[in-house]
């Protein structure tokens, strides 16, 4: 009667929090339930072989925007070679517009929305009857106090080698139309004492890297302070074995009490993900985003000047109502604030999000294949959008990687967006590629571009030599890391 919980993570270091929630809440079925994670890029037949080795009766898949295409292939193979196995789907990608999807047609059942209670109940019906008549099952949303927390299910290997995702709350009170969280009515907090007890147990087992998936960590300042004090206490007690905490924060809500706590964290122990998305008030209004831009900018400036937190700030290109000049102004404004990373994202049409209401009025055209990136709108044509896509990739390679820390200011000059766009266009013309460019070649190309724009040869050589000698890297989880940042979406598997 084995039940398998499976998904394809975007990389090995990402451990699925959603699947662990399901496992924690399987009740009497938990002893018969196994968790088996894979990484995108795995050969579909190999995945199927490993799954069927357990002789499962049921396989539940967490389906996300980054794995839906590969998971569809796996489900198709499973239904060919083991049609007797019941396939249950869950996760954000199959929770909306369900009837349109090939993977849903192939599967036996789908749980939309929250799966903590509904998935175990569906498994009981499949195994012991009466057999479910409906294919689509709307997930019930129980009080959070009724949900068993999953953190004890992180293995020692998870703790040693993977990011541990945790959440002090679910949901979001904001209504930004490009985000699935806009469908939530509010944010629901878990019992804080119980949550902190779980963090205590993880820390005692050796966990030092905690990534919070809360959409609005600093919404309730009293709770935020209590969680931060937990980490400050650990830092004080174990200065030679520090913890690292990552939070997503609301940019315009940083009261003095929270600033005081933030200022106490030493370097390499705290990271904030800050969603600006756009500095254009008209665009913000159009997509139902409430944000005080002056406060947001002031808070980013304060964090940069008075804290040791690593700042990762998000912008989205392609939002309705925003043209290239508007986006460029916002980008330049953000560069002037000095965050450590600017994550330059391209708008995606996540299934179920209200952003589609602008499709006709703003002539929004999206790629029909995941991740459903915007291709054009009434303000930015297809060719220009392609230039922005390339800009984002080169920005990751050059700016966010940290490998050109000394040279980047010379590249950006007094017009950061315009100058980097010019570099991006030139790099693409020279290489016809936006990935797999060797670091040595990239450095040589950057030097050539700078010299071609009149930069002093000796200064360019000195700056690039400093970057090479320092081997600068992006600070993540308290370590220097040169990998290209990829922000994983934080919607839990259903």
Confidence of residue 185 (pLDDT cuts 50, 70, 90): confident
pLDDT tens digits along 457-477: 999 999 999 998 865 444 333
Please state, in angstroms and rounded to a whole number, the distance separating the CA atoms of residues 270 and 287. 30
- Residues paired with 366 in a beta bridge: 374
pLDDT tens digits along 139-184: 999 999 999 999 999 999 999 999 999 999 999 999 999 999 989 8
Of the candidate ranges 56-60, 90-94, 330-334, 475-479, the one whose mean pLDDT is the lowest:
475-479
Residue 351 has pLDDT above 50, yes or no: yes
Mean pLDDT value across residues 422-434: 97
Q: What is the pLDDT of residue 20?
A: 98
* CB of 58 closer than 8 Å to CB of 86: yes
Mean pLDDT value across residues 25-40: 97
Q: What is the pLDDT of residue 387?
A: 98
3-145 maps to which CATH number?
Answer: 3.40.50.280
Mean pLDDT value across residues 176-203: 95
For the chain, what percent of residues have pLDDT higher than 90?
A: 92
Tokens of 183: 């469908």
Whole-angstrom CA distances from 265 to 222, 261, 268, 438 are 18, 7, 9, 36
Of the candidate ranges 310-319, 343-352, 391-400, 485-494, the one whose mean pLDDT is the lowest:
485-494
Residue 482 has pLDDT above 80, yes or no: no
pLDDT tens digits along 209-236: 999 999 989 999 999 999 999 999 999 9
* Contact partners, residue 305, CB within 8 Å, separation at least 6: none
Confidence of residue 429 (pLDDT cuts 50, 70, 90): very high
Task: Please give the distance of CA 70 from its chain centroid, rounded to a whole number.
Answer: 19
Residue 490 has pLDDT above 80, yes or no: no
* Contact partners, residue 247, CB within 8 Å, separation at least 6: 212, 214, 217, 218, 270, 271, 272, 273
Please state, in angstroms and rounded to a whole number, the distance separating the CA atoms of residues 289 and 87. 38
Residue 453 has pLDDT above 70, yes or no: yes
Domains 3-145 and 154-380 share a fold: no
Mean pLDDT value across residues 100-108: 97
- Domains of the chain, residue spans: 3-145, 154-380, 398-494
Residue 34 has pLDDT above 50, yes or no: yes
Report the chain's mean pLDDT, rounded to a whole number. 94
Which of 106, 115, 108 has the alpha carbon at shortest distance from 136?
A: 108
Q: What is the pLDDT of residue 471?
A: 58
pLDDT tens digits along 297-329: 999 999 999 999 999 999 999 999 999 999 999
Q: What is the pLDDT of residue 1?
A: 66
Mean pLDDT value across residues 397-420: 97
Q: What is the pLDDT of residue 492?
A: 33
Which of 270, 283, 276 has the alpha carbon at shortest distance from 311?
A: 270
HEC string of the chain equals CCEEEEEEECCCCECCHHHHHHHHCCHHHHHHEEEEEEECCCCHHHHHHHHHCCCCCEEEEECCCCCHHHHHHHHHHHHHHCCCCEEEEECHHHCCCHHHCHHHHHCCEEEECCCCCHHHHHHHHHHHCCCCCCCEEECCCCCHHHCCCCHHHCCHHHHHHCEEEECCEEECCCCCCCCHHHHCCCEEECCHHHHHHHHHHHHHCCCCEEEECCCCCCCCHHHHHHHHHHHHHHHHHCCCCCCEEEEEECCCCCCHHHHHHHCCCCCCCEEEEEEEECCCHHHHHHCCCCCCHHHHHHHHHHHHHHCCCEEEEEEEECCCCCCHHHHHHHHHHHHHHCCCEEEEEECECCCCCHHHHHCCCCCCEECCCCCCEEEECCCCCHHHHHHHHHHHHHHHHHHHCCCCCCCHHHHHCCCHHHHHHHHHHHHHHHHCCCCCCCHHHHHHHHHHHHHHCCCCHHHHHHHHHHHHHHCCCEEECCEEECCCCCCCCCCCCC
Please state, in angstroms and rounded to a whole number, the distance separating the CA atoms of residues 7 and 39. 8
Mean pLDDT value across residues 264-291: 97
Residue 352 has pLDDT above 50, yes or no: yes
* CATH of the structural domain 154-380, one choice from 3.40.50.2000, 3.40.50.1100, 3.80.30.20, 3.10.129.10: 3.80.30.20
Q: What is the pLDDT of residue 470?
A: 67
pLDDT tens digits along 72-82: 999 999 999 99
């Amino acid at each position: 009667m084995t039940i398998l919980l499976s998904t394809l993570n975007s990389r090995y270091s990402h451990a699925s929090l959603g699947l662990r929630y399901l496992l924690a809440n399987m009740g009497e079925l938990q002893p018969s339930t196994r968790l088996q994670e894979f990484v995108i890029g795995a050969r579909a037949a190999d995945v199927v072989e490993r799954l069927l080795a357990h002789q499962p009766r049921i396989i539940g898949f967490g389906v996300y925007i980054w794995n839906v295409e590969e998971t569809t292939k796996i489900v198709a193979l499973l239904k060919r070679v083991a049609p007797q196995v019941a396939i249950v789907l869950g996760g954000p990608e199959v929770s909306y517009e369900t009837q349109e999807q090939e993977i849903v047609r192939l599967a036996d059942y789908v749980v939309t929305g929250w799966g903590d209670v509904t998935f175990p109940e569906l498994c009981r019906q499949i195994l012991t009857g009466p057999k479910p008549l409906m294919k689509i099952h709307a997930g019930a949303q129980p009080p959070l106090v009724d949900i068993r927390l999953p953190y004890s299910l992180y293995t020692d290997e998870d703790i040693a080698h993977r990011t541990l995702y945790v959440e002090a709350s679910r949901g979001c009170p904001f209504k930004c139309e490009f985000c699935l969280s806009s469908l939530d009515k509010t944010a629901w907090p878990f019992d804080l004492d119980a949550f902190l007890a779980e963090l205590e147990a993880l820390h005692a087992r050796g966990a030092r890297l905690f990534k919070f998936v809360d959409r609005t960590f600093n919404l309730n300042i009293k709770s935020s302070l209590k969680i931060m004090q937990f980490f400050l206490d650990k830092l004080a007690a174990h200065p030679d074995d520090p913890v690292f905490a990552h939070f997503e924060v609301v940019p315009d809500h940083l009261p003095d009490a929270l600033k005081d706590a933030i200022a106490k964290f030493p370097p390499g122990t705290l990271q904030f993900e800050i969603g600006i998305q756009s500095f254009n008030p008209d665009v913000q209004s159009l997509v139902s985003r409430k944000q005080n831009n002056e406060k947001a900018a002031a808070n980013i400036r304060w964090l940069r000047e008075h804290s040791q937190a690593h700042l990762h700030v998000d912008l989205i290109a392609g939002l309705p109502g925003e043209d290239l000049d508007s986006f460029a102004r916002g980008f330049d404004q953000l560069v002037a604030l000095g965050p450590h990373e600017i994550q330059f994202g391209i708008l995606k049409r996540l299934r179920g999000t209200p952003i589609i209401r602008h499709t006709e009025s703003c002539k929004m055209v999206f790629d029909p294949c995941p991740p459903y990136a915007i291709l054009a709108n009434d303000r930015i044509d297809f060719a220009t959008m392609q230039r922005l896509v390339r800009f984002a990739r080169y920005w990751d390679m050059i700016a966010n990687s940290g490998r050109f820390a000394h040279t980047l200011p010379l590249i950006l000059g007094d017009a950061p967006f315009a100058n980097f766009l010019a570099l991006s266009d030139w790099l693409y013309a020279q290489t016809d590629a936006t990935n797999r460019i060797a670091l040595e070649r990239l450095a040589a190309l950057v030097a050539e571009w700078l010299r071609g724009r009149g930069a002093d040869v000796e200064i360019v050589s000195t700056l690039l030599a400093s970057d090479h000698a320092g081997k600068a890297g992006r600070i993540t989880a308290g370590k220097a890391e040169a990998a290209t940042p990829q922000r994983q979406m934080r919607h839990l598997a259903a």
